[in-house]
Structure 1
């Protein structure tokens, strides 16, 4: 047993698991072997087997809190939240100061929708064991769920202070910094540099500019080559590349391919599966493919592979679409922007040079399941319905206060908020926030998009005007709303993230819906809310207007991007293009 435990502690899980199995072969009721075999299975991702074995250990030794805690965690990962809660509470009954059980129970309760109790237990875990990075990360996530952005940032920073190379905490910290109202873009960019240095500073940087083949080789790296919104913007580029001049490689980090994956694969010249591959191996693969320009489509999101880019496997590396800020990587050469999000002559902080496209930083292909435009709901309701389908953490205090003022200045108007996160607890919390601002619950409709088959496109038939969020504008939501004939009011921020929707509206010639400050945003929304004839006219014309705009010129956008790539490859690196 001691040898198996040594292997287990050293991270050699398969070897440890095999030794535990040998012990169980002649001691099938050994509780330690049952527990540790199950724990190794749990750590290897086989949660169902883990539950079966750890449960046997618990049955043999029911008064051991560690066993109860590990069973609870395995049950959580296998999807049985009720049983997980039961065993974690039992672990705490046996040992009330068990920090790990408080942490795990907090995670289970958060997934169960009991967000207040989740926060309470997770706070207790950090109090009992302040040196545990995972507890601070969990606390940061739950504070984000409560839209306590400053506290969330502080928790992620505590996690990173304990473990500098903690990708999930780093990604989350940078994500929330983009959400923080009044954040200084220079300070946010500096934080990206610090995080990138901590995560990737020791990576080997080695670029080989191979002899140019007849065609320019372009590589795209993403974990979202599946049913994901980024493909509304990526697929048209992939499909329209000029194959007489460019050879296209896709590096797919998708564990569960779907129909969208298959469709994207059909558009690529070469498809490389990299799910589960190490960063070093992926970088070697890209070098062996002699890629000229490598695009990152994820940044600091869940499936990002910036560690690959930190190794500089291609001579030119570009960040686009998936993340609206600097990567902070010295190895990332360019970031795609446009004349609206980053006007020429305006300093934009970040490590990358700006690859500035003339009309738009992205083109948009609406999904095939988007329905036809329907009549504005005000024509049936007799009142205007403002709407939001944004992530709930984007509904910060400043946004909610602005929306409350819009409703107070439009006494007959309603607000519809729809999102998959919008469970009963979130609905209650939002109602309380609006009630404190003198907007009663009868004026706010909440829609929980809990059915995976339920398309959020259907919700646009119930919205007259979409209210954008700030400081991180809702680019994808706005594009979908406009396609469905729903006008959008936005606030022009001080960063690319805060100007993305403004870029779309400017491309449609609708600058009158781009506010310079919060007061103007409130006034613009109020003005259009009091003009039902204008809303109905826009409902009937916006899709055609969008179709005729640069946003829908898929071939033209791709040609423009290709022209920029040819230019920078032909003339070396430039400070800004």
Structure 2
């Protein structure tokens, strides 16, 4: 969206439309509210102007802009389009109309308006910024990158173009450059949550990143973002049951629910009283199930961190658990204020939060061996047998295990996010395919449009793997379950350095063995932990050479592969991964131990 100053202050040629002192006064008051972020007040005044002058282009545009900023993109398009009809040669109007059309989902019309804005003003950084986003979504990734780079060149002091460029670079798996772009955005705006999430996400993806340096980066970011947040210190002394609260924006159809629902379903109601703080804007069936399982449910969507902090304080929570970390719906600003005596990071983010206020982080002996010490601000809370348990979705429980048909060709597979399929992963997978002439690779993902298919085909071709050995599948039907894809593969190849934990659990449940490479941090060892718990440590490699060897040997031994697949779901069911009651008991004991430790830190006179 163009800035309010762009939209209001740069068009003296439109002032001829204004007539009468009362309308001028109303516009002055309205734009004052608009600049101050008082959108409802501005909207009411723009509406009053339009009642007097229905064809006033300024009021039409600015009323539409307010609607756009409030999320009513359909109304925004209607009013800004009318302004464009009045004054067709204004690039700011075209830019805002294009962005509103983009948010409404009409990409062709959005691109048309944004290109027209650039015809009128080729050096318009905002239009380059918005056009880059629209082109990326429409699959024109190279053009999107060109316009996004141009936006940073034309307006290098604005953080948004650097952030958008970082997102596009990450989408194209140009990870080092993406990290530099996110850092550029944060240099201009240190308190930029989306850029923080982007930077730390990319750091977890970098193949050659040092774990200690990445942990230190988390500390630095947390210090800048949350260092000034005042911390509570007068927590209630518990009496009776321990009150445990879970905070997440992913209490919905999301990977986190696969691991949180079995914990919530098996809570010990004699010792714990459970509160869920839900930051879900649009509830779904999963939200409903979780709400039924929770003893207390608190809606926090739209509330400020301070308001959520106060709500938690009123509930007298003893132990507060974060399930999001540095993700889109993360609420680490709440945790920075220390509303609970004991605070724990669990499942939603695979690295340190960097927060001094976060007391513990859940791991296990495989993902974070005691011999390696601690890496991050939290004390490590190790769960024996595995850091999480897994409940497959109901629709997958009755799905059959094994290949639907088999002609003897071994199919390796990947359903991982494309940004995890980095150059080292591609080179390693190519070596596996070249070592087994009778094998193919199936890669399926919702991101895998025609452009990405071509990119991956060229990348594999550069390592000697022809396109006819690849099946690149665009999962573009939201109603299609990705579980169905497992019936078309024999072995899932894990990614590194950030392992595909959720995807591996789903694959194993569907009878597909997984080959994994143990990396240097928790994020890169999650699948290794699952395989070790199932007694399949032989499928875990400690080097790329060993990873290739394991995958090739498994693919060549059809009898072993067939036997492994046939018994895999039963093996999953008997493993710690599916021991819901056992895991819940271990998790709650760990939480009790952690709480007692934090309680013991308080001097006796403070109790």
Q: TM-score, normalised by structure 1?
A: 0.98
Task: Provide the C-alpha distance between the structure 2 equivalents of 1:489 and 1:328, rounded to a whole number of angstroms.
Answer: 31
Residue aligning to 2:305:
279
Task: Provide the C-alpha distance between the structure 2 equivalents of 1:207 and 1:499, rounded to a whole number of angstroms.
Answer: 35
Cα displacement (A) at 1:574: 8.7
Q: TM-score, normalised by structure 2?
A: 0.93
Measured against aligned partners, the alpha-carbon deviations of 1:352-371 in whole angstroms (never above 9, x if no partner) come to 00011111000111111114
The one of 68, 86, 102 aligned to 2:128 = 102
The one of 400, 403, 411 aligned to 1:373 = 400
Measured against aligned partners, the alpha-carbon deviations of 1:446-505 in whole angstroms (never above 9, x if no partner) come to 111111111111110011011000000000000111111111100111100000000000
Q: What are the equivalent positions in structure 2 for 1:287-306 lying under 5 Å apart?
A: 287-306=313-332
Cα displacement (A) at 1:7: 1.5
- Do the aligned residues in 2 keep the contact of 1:300 with 1:306 (CA within 8 Å)? yes
- Do the aligned residues in 1 keep the contact of 2:402 with 2:512 (CA within 8 Å)? no
Aligned: 1:538 with 2:567: no
Greater shift after overlay, 451-460 or 206-215? Answer: 206-215
Residue aligning to 1:458:
484
Residue aligning to 1:332:
358
Task: Provide the C-alpha distance between the structure 1 equivalents of 2:395 and 2:114, rounded to a whole number of angstroms.
Answer: 43
Residue aligning to 1:557:
583
Task: Provide the C-alpha distance between the structure 2 equivalents of 1:223 and 1:369, rounded to a whole number of angstroms.
Answer: 23
Residue aligning to 2:24:
none
The one of 38, 45, 50 aligned to 2:64 = 38
The one of 153, 172, 178 aligned to 2:204 = 178
Residue aligning to 2:546:
520
Residue aligning to 1:500:
526
Residue aligning to 1:93:
119
Residue aligning to 1:154:
180
Cα displacement (A) at 1:554: 0.5
Measured against aligned partners, the alpha-carbon deviations of 1:202-255 in whole angstroms (never above 9, x if no partner) come to 112113321312100000000010111111110011010110110000000001
Residue aligning to 2:93:
67
- Do the aligned residues in 2 keep the contact of 1:171 with 1:300 (CA within 8 Å)? yes
SS at match of 1:381: coil
The one of 90, 94, 105 aligned to 1:79 = 105
SS at match of 2:298: strand
SS at match of 1:218: strand
- Do the aligned residues in 2 keep the contact of 1:507 with 1:551 (CA within 8 Å)? yes
SS at match of 1:122: helix
The one of 11, 24, 34 aligned to 2:37 = 11
- Do the aligned residues in 1 keep the contact of 2:341 with 2:598 (CA within 8 Å)? no
Cα displacement (A) at 1:159: 0.4
- Do the aligned residues in 2 keep the contact of 1:373 with 1:539 (CA within 8 Å)? no
Cα displacement (A) at 1:33: 0.9
The aligned length equals 574
Measured against aligned partners, the alpha-carbon deviations of 1:322-359 in whole angstroms (never above 9, x if no partner) come to 10000000110000000100111212310000011111
Residue aligning to 1:263:
289
- Do the aligned residues in 2 keep the contact of 1:66 with 1:91 (CA within 8 Å)? yes
The one of 388, 394, 398 aligned to 2:424 = 398
Cα displacement (A) at 1:166: 0.3
SS at match of 2:370: coil
Greater shift after overlay, 395-404 or 225-234? Answer: 225-234
Task: Provide the C-alpha distance between the structure 1 equivalents of 2:225 and 2:593, rounded to a whole number of angstroms.
Answer: 32
- Do the aligned residues in 1 keep the contact of 2:245 with 2:275 (CA within 8 Å)? yes
SS at match of 1:572: helix
Task: Provide the C-alpha distance between the structure 1 equivalents of 2:593 and 2:81, rounded to a whole number of angstroms.
Answer: 63
SS at match of 1:416: strand
Greater shift after overlay, 159-168 or 346-355? Answer: 346-355
SS at match of 2:194: helix
Residue aligning to 2:51:
25
Measured against aligned partners, the alpha-carbon deviations of 1:514-539 in whole angstroms (never above 9, x if no partner) come to 10111110111111011111111011
Cα displacement (A) at 1:373: 3.4
Cα displacement (A) at 1:571: 4.0
Task: Provide the C-alpha distance between the structure 1 equivalents of 2:60 and 2:155, rounded to a whole number of angstroms.
Answer: 28
SS at match of 2:371: coil
Q: What are the equivalent positions in structure 2 for 1:234-253 lying under 5 Å apart?
A: 234-253=260-279
Measured against aligned partners, the alpha-carbon deviations of 1:117-148 in whole angstroms (never above 9, x if no partner) come to 10011111111111110000000000011100
Unaligned runs of 5+ in 1: none
SS at match of 2:525: helix
Task: Provide the C-alpha distance between the structure 2 equivalents of 1:99 and 1:573, rounded to a whole number of angstroms.
Answer: 54
Residue aligning to 1:510:
536
- Do the aligned residues in 1 keep the contact of 2:402 with 2:510 (CA within 8 Å)? no
Task: Provide the C-alpha distance between the structure 2 equivalents of 1:121 and 1:366, rounded to a whole number of angstroms.
Answer: 42
**Aligned-CA RMSD value:** 1.2
Cα displacement (A) at 1:177: 0.3
Cα displacement (A) at 1:573: 6.4
- Do the aligned residues in 1 keep the contact of 2:341 with 2:599 (CA within 8 Å)? no
**Structure 1 runs (4+) greater than 6 angstroms displaced:** none
- Do the aligned residues in 2 keep the contact of 1:362 with 1:551 (CA within 8 Å)? yes
- Do the aligned residues in 2 keep the contact of 1:319 with 1:334 (CA within 8 Å)? yes
Residue aligning to 1:47:
73
Aligned: 1:135 with 2:161: yes
- Do the aligned residues in 1 keep the contact of 2:341 with 2:595 (CA within 8 Å)? no
Aligned: 1:191 with 2:206: no
